[in-house]
Structure 1
Amino acid sequence: MNDFLDKTFYSTYKTKKMKNNKDIIVLTGAGQLGLAIARRLGYGNKIFVADWKLENAESISKILTEAGFDAVPFKVDISSRASVLALIAAAQKEGEISMFINAAGVSPSQASIEQILSVDLYGTSLLLEEFGKVIKPGGTGVVISSQSGYRMPALSAEQDRLLAMTPVEELLQLEMLQPANIKDTLHAYQMAKRANGKRVMAEAVKWGERGARVNSISPGIIITPLALDEINGPRGDFYKNMFAKSPAGRPGIADEVANVAELLLSKSGAFITGADFLIDGGATASYFYGPLQPEKN
């Protein structure tokens, strides 16, 4: 009987210990894309859902919790190093960070040039740097970027290198990012998304030193509240024309992005790092070689 009790106690203790030592997934950006990815990969882990608006983080955490996941909300400003470090510290108290998903950002219709560069460009670069210092060996990360990074004219090799390699705190001082050289919010967004891909490439080298991987995904029009704002905003006709004239003939859905994220974040993608995956139903192909070519519109 005592042996039975000892074994029962050990089993209970082991179970509790395992529960208290979960791997940690950190999701920045509490929206539909992040939710779809977290649902696909989050079971058995503790998920920190972080967002600039705490109510957004609470809403997504509630959905996950009611679906059986272990999720907690957290307020973060990804354009603040102190705020990002506070998020990392809170996550590390619960276990090792094994997965990082950045789906945070603002859009050309919602923000100013300064906000776009501060959040989408500087903030993403900051996250990649800080999470790259703490990601668990064997860990993975993914950044949600945008097809917009493919739409602007090619930059020079030196400009690409500067976007990839400039120290984070000096990024916004680059000549190409000064107000006089940014035409409008769309141009700022395109520059930010071009920088995302370059930063991921450069950070993949550093993450690799820890035995970790990081990639990015560049979605086209994916039906989310953010996309609906765009479609119903001042540039709505542009977006409707875009997916109407793309090979797929439609916008995408969040779960289609999660399909690719699952590959990149799982062991199935073990040989993939420093890469960007364009998921836009062929809209970019049509922009360069089909009916969406600017001179044909």
Structure 2
Amino acid sequence: MFMSINAQKLAGKVAVVTGGNSGIGLATAKRFAAEGAYVFITGRRQNELEAAAKEIGNNVTAVQGDISKLADLDRLYATVKKEKGHIDILFANAGLGEFAPLGSITEEHFDKTFNTNVKGTLFTVQKALSLLRDGGSVILNASTTASTGNEAFSVYSATKAAIRSFARCWILDLKQRKIRVNAISPGPINTPGLSGLTQTEEQDRQFKNAMIASVPLGRLGDPDEVAKVASFLASDDSSFVNGVELFVDGGAAQI
């Protein structure tokens, strides 16, 4: 059951969450809405997106789209402009990953991963700039994989390292507008995306056990634990936090 929020620290804000149909994106959209924001969510799969909007409840608009397709981003922001006219919070969350060891990496795998995670994130933010209010908050979903070695995961890890670099660079590009840009780096979080990395239930069990063994807190994270950090970065609670990488990993990347 989703925890009720007492203080609406995002009251009156307009937020966009890409990849808001499941996992971290859905948990964050739910928390943003519960804290008073009006939330626009995107996702590639219409059925999942509609179900997510129902789960969020009030103060939400769902716009189907793929962030690697610039026309879909244009359609998203045209909807935001028409309905609300501006954006206060942007959580560039959408991304994907698949295992591929060096020696087996295909051009298709490379292009798919970089087009979504790097190109998609870049244009998600760039195309939002005309709607983003001065003093707004941009949050990028990076990963602990940007800081650690990961077997058969080099392409995904490289995309997340690029996202970390975006945060550092964009705070300079946007400094005149006082727009803050921060990155969240989740560790192993219990999401559908984590399970989607394996083929069978037994592989999923072994993979998650290995992940748990790498976490000093001894468990997988919950999507809402990432959402709470995103809410902090979205709100005035983090008004002097800019360009950081905030790990939400139970300590996994710190040892």
Q: TM-score normalized by structure 2?
A: 0.82
Paired amino acid for 2:97: S
Q: Tell me which moved more, 184-193 or 86-95.
A: 184-193
- Identify the residue that residue 189 of structure 1 maps to in structure 2: 156
After TM superposition, the structure 1 = structure 2 runs for residues 165-180 of structure 1, keeping only pairs within 5 Å, are: none
Choose from 90, 102, 116 the match for 2:92: 102
Letter in 2 for 1:190: S
Question: Does 2:46 align with 1:63?
Answer: no
* Alignment CA distance shift 1:246-1:23 (3 Å): closer
One-letter amino acid matched to 1:85? D
In the alignment, the residues of structure 1 paired with residue 78 and residue 173 of structure 2 have an alpha-carbon distance, to the nearest angstrom, of 21
Q: Does 1:139 align with 2:136?
A: yes
Q: Say whether the 8 Å CA contact 2:32–2:39 is kept in structure 1.
A: no
User: Is 2:206 aligned against 1:215?
Assistant: no
Matches of 2:126 and 2:172 in 1, distance apart?
11
Aligned-residue offset at 1:223:
0.6
Q: Residues 40-60 of structure 1: CA distance to partner in whole angstroms, max 9, x if unpaired?
A: 222443221111222222111
Higher helix share: 1
Secondary structure in 1 matching 2:215? coil
SS of the residue 1:136 aligns to: strand
**1:148 equivalent in structure 2:** 145
Say if 2:42 is the partner of 1:50: yes
CA deviations over 1:56-77 (Å, ceiling 9, x no partner): 2211111112xxx211211122
Query: What percent of counterpart residues are identical?
Result: 27
Q: Distance in 2 between matches of 1:209 and 1:58?
A: 38
CA contact (8 A) 1:145 1:197 kept: yes
| Aligned CA distance change for structure 1 residues 253 and 231 (closer, same or farther; 3 Å) | farther
User: TM-score scaled to structure 1, two decimals?
Assistant: 0.71
Which has the larger Rg?
Answer: 1
Unaligned runs of 5+ in 2: 1-11, 101-107
User: Is the CA contact (8 Å cut-off) linking 2:23 and 2:193 kept in structure 1?
Assistant: no
| Structure 1 position 206 matched with structure 2 position 173 | yes
- SS state of the match for residue 209, structure 1? helix
Question: Residues 242 and 86 of structure 1: is their aligned pair in 2 closer, same or farther, counting only changes over 3 Å?
Answer: same
> In structure 2, do the counterparts of structure 1 residues 185 and 26 end up closer, same or farther at CA, with 3 Å as the change threshold?
farther
- Alignment RMSD, CA only? 2.3
1:23 Cα shift? Answer: 4.2
Query: Does structure 2 retain, via aligned residues, the 8 Å contact 1:31–1:103?
Result: no
Q: Does 1:31 align with 2:22?
A: yes
Instruction: Tell me how far apart the structure 2 counterparts of residues 70 and 57 of structure 1 sit (CA, whole Å).
Output: 15
Residues of 1 paired with 2:144 and 2:109: CA distance?
Answer: 20
Partner of 1:86: 75
Q: Is the 8 A contact 1:243 1:283 kept in 2?
A: no
Distance 1:239 1:190 in 2: 18
Aligned length: 232
Moved more, 214-223 or 224-233: 224-233
**What are the Cα deviations for residues 144-164 of structure 1, in whole angstroms up to 9, with x where unaligned?**
2211111149xxxxxxxxxxx
